[in-house]
């Protein structure tokens, strides 16, 4: 009887994994984009973030006013001088983002199996049964059975911070939904995402244009993160707008792919954009979870072939509240880099997370370790698997 044996040619000694990582003379090739916010805007924290490896600072205008972000940026400029660490500036647009507006700022408790009405009437107060939204066309875009998600930082999947709704009825401009899981909305602004439904709003909104032409021009931003990019025309329109401003004609545009529409037109978007951001949080809503990795691998490969940077998001969500990532997250970061990702983008982990510096440090160490493996020919991972079916391979009796 012939049996098969799996022979693994080991490119590195397993014992070497236990050896402490050696500091690299050169920084990691993989860049870290850190979102600056309430927990990461002080001079002390920003300085430590730069020392830990942050090389791009992201300013997310989905929340906070221009004055708030300007104060943060002035702190960043001072830290760059004192630490002598270079750091680029990225402006992240709001785009056609739907938001739940809670003017009272009181926590709103939503109970599973009860009804809630989404209304465009912003004069009404947010309650457990009524949520005002900033979009008057929702009732025309959805139908009974459609899925809507609401979350503060789309989307962790946490049962306490994100809620899943199913449309049951459309009443004129209001949309009645069944709440599928209990959750508490604890802040003044939450993002609303309708799965696989086109929202008839421009990708570069009037608000975005105002922010870019004022705050963006004043600070000569290096990158524009174009949220909810759906067509190549979105990128062309944004580039024309930047060119007309003059001072931002050299600003690079990174198209943020966040839904099925952007995925469908990915190839043409890639041709126009300077880089791609794979927004896995929103994509994980529009796509079944088991399909996200397929898009990620295909998109990163295409970016590599086109010679354009690929950035992945939502890498260490658990570090928003914890000092260490899960083992799955650490492996996910490494695999994204092995696939060819050029940068990782940290959102809530640094914006509101309890450990922004530690998050950047941990992700930086993972990046450095992977880069060391990739660029060391003696350690380059190229495992060969051989199946041997010869009788000579049988183990002794």
Over residues 280-333, the pLDDT tens digits come to 888 888 888 888 899 999 999 999 999 999 999 989 988 988 999 999 999 999
β-pairing, 31-35 vs 162-171, is: unpaired
Structure-token pair, residue 28: 């990691």
Burial 214-224 (b: 16+ CB within 10 A, else e): ebbbebebbbb
The predicted model scores a pTM of 0.85
The reported pLDDT for the residue numbered 391 is 39
CATH number of 98-194: 2.40.33.10
Fold of 25-95+204-374: TIM Barrel (3.20.20)
Over residues 124-156, the pLDDT tens digits come to 988 999 999 988 889 888 999 998 888 765 555
Over residues 44-86, the pLDDT tens digits come to 999 999 999 999 999 999 888 999 999 999 999 999 999 999 9
Phi, psi (degrees; rounded to nearest 5) at 280: -70, -20
Domains 25-95+204-374 and 98-194 share a fold: no
In sequence order, the 6+-apart residues with CB closer than 8 A to the CB of 299 are: 257, 266, 276, 278, 310
Question: Where in 129-215 does DSSP place strands (E)?
Answer: 130-132, 147-151, 162-171, 174-179, 183-185, 189-194
Mean pLDDT value of segment 108-126: 91
Secondary structure (3-state) at 270: helix
- Among candidate residues 334, 315, 333, the one with its CA nearest the CA of residue 373: 334
The reported pLDDT for the residue numbered 10 is 52
CA distance 37 to 26: 29
Secondary structure (3-state) at 371: helix
Secondary structure (3-state) at 47: helix
Segments making up each domain of the chain, as ranges: 25-95+204-374, 98-194
């Amino acid at each position: 009887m012939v049996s098969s044996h799996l022979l693994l040619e080991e490119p590195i000694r397993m014992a070497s994994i236990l050896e402490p990582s050696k500091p690299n003379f050169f920084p990691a090739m993989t860049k870290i984009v850190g979102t600056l916010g309430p927990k990461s805007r002080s001079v002390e924290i920003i300085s430590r973030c730069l020392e830990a490896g942050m090389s791009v600072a992201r300013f997310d205008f989905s929340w906070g006013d221009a004055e708030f972000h300007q104060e943060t940026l002035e702190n960043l400029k001072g830290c760059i001088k004192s630490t002598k660490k270079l750091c680029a500036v990225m402006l992240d647009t709001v785009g056609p983002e739907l938001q739940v507006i809670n003017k009272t700022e009181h926590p709103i408790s939503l109970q599973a199996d009860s009804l809630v009405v989404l209304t465009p009437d912003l004069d009404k107060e947010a309650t457990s049964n009524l949520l005002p939204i900033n979009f008057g066309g929702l009732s025309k875009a959805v139908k009974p059975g459609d899925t809507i998600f609401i979350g503060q930082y789309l989307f962790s999947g946490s049962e306490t911070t994100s809620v899943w709704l199913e449309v049951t009825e459309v009443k004129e401009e209001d949309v009645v939904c069944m709440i599928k899981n209990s959750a508490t909305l604890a802040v003044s602004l939450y993002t609303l995402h309708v799965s696989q439904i086109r929202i008839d709003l421009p990708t570069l909104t009037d608000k975005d244009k105002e922010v870019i032409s004022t705050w963006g021009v004043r600070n000569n931003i290096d990158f524009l993160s174009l949220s909810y990019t759906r067509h190549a025309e979105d990128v062309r329109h944004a580039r024309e707008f930047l060119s007309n401003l003059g001072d931002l004609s050299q600003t690079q545009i990174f198209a943020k792919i966040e839904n099925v529409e952007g995925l469908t037109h990915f190839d043409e978007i890639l041709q126009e954009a300077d880089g791609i951001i794979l927004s896995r949080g929103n994509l994980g809503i529009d796509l079944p979870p088991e399909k996200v990795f397929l898009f990620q691998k295909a998109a990163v490969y295409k970016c590599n072939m086109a010679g354009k940077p690929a950035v992945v998001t939502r890498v260490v969500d658990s570090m928003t509240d914890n000092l260490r990532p899960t083992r799955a997250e650490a492996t996910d970061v490494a695999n994204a880099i092995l696939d060819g990702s050029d940068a990782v983008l940290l959102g809530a982990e640094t914006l509101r997370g309890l450990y922004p510096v530690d998050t950047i440090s941990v992700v930086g160490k993972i990046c450095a370790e992977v880069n060391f493996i990739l660029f060391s020919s003696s350690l380059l991972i190229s495992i060969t698997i051989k199946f041997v079916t010869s009788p000579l391979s049988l183990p002794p009796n």
